[in-house]
């Protein structure tokens, strides 16, 4: 198990997240406010723009393949490196379809 630092650039909050847990689960344990709803990678409420670093989120079905390189769904995302993310930033697909996420690329 490896621990990584996750910094939320808009608030300056920083937490330590292992590669075995999601960013959202750690936020909830640490008492850090983080938007979420479905907790299964579909609703995009927990979306964050990846400013720096990498995550794995194979079950994040609400994002296209391209979007999953730029955005993390914190309910599914597990860090692969130290991260800087900007919470509350949503992928273009959520805007393009009247708030409905675009179908995921397969």
Residue 104 maps to a domain: no
Distance between CA atoms of residues 92 and 33, nearest Å: 23
Residue 102 maps to a domain: no
Dump pLDDT digits (tens) for 22-80. 999 999 999 988 888 988 888 899 999 999 999 999 888 888 888 989 999 999 999 99
* Residue 32 near residue 88 (C-beta atoms within 8 A): no
Q: Is the pLDDT of residue 106 over 60?
A: no
For residue 95, the model assigns a pLDDT of 62
Model confidence, pTM: 0.82
Dump pLDDT digits (tens) for 1-26. 899 999 999 999 999 999 999 999 99
- Residues spanned by the domain of 83: 3-96
* Residue 68 near residue 60 (C-beta atoms within 8 A): yes
Number of domains in the chain: 1
CATH number of the structural domain spanning residue 55: 3.10.20.30
């Amino acid at each position: 198990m490896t621990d990584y630092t996750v910094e939320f650039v808009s608030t300056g909050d920083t937490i330590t997240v292992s590669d075995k847990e999601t960013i959202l689960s750690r936020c909830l344990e640490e008492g850090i406010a983080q938007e979420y709803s479905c907790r299964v990678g579909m609703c995009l409420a927990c979306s964050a723009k990846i400013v720096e670093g990498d995550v794995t989120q194979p079950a994040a079905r609400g994002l296209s393949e391209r979007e999953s390189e730029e955005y993390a769904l914190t309910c599914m995302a597990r860090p692969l490196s130290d991260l800087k993310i900007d919470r509350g930033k949503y992928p273009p697909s959520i805007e393009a379809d009247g708030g409905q996420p675009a179908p995921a690329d397969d």
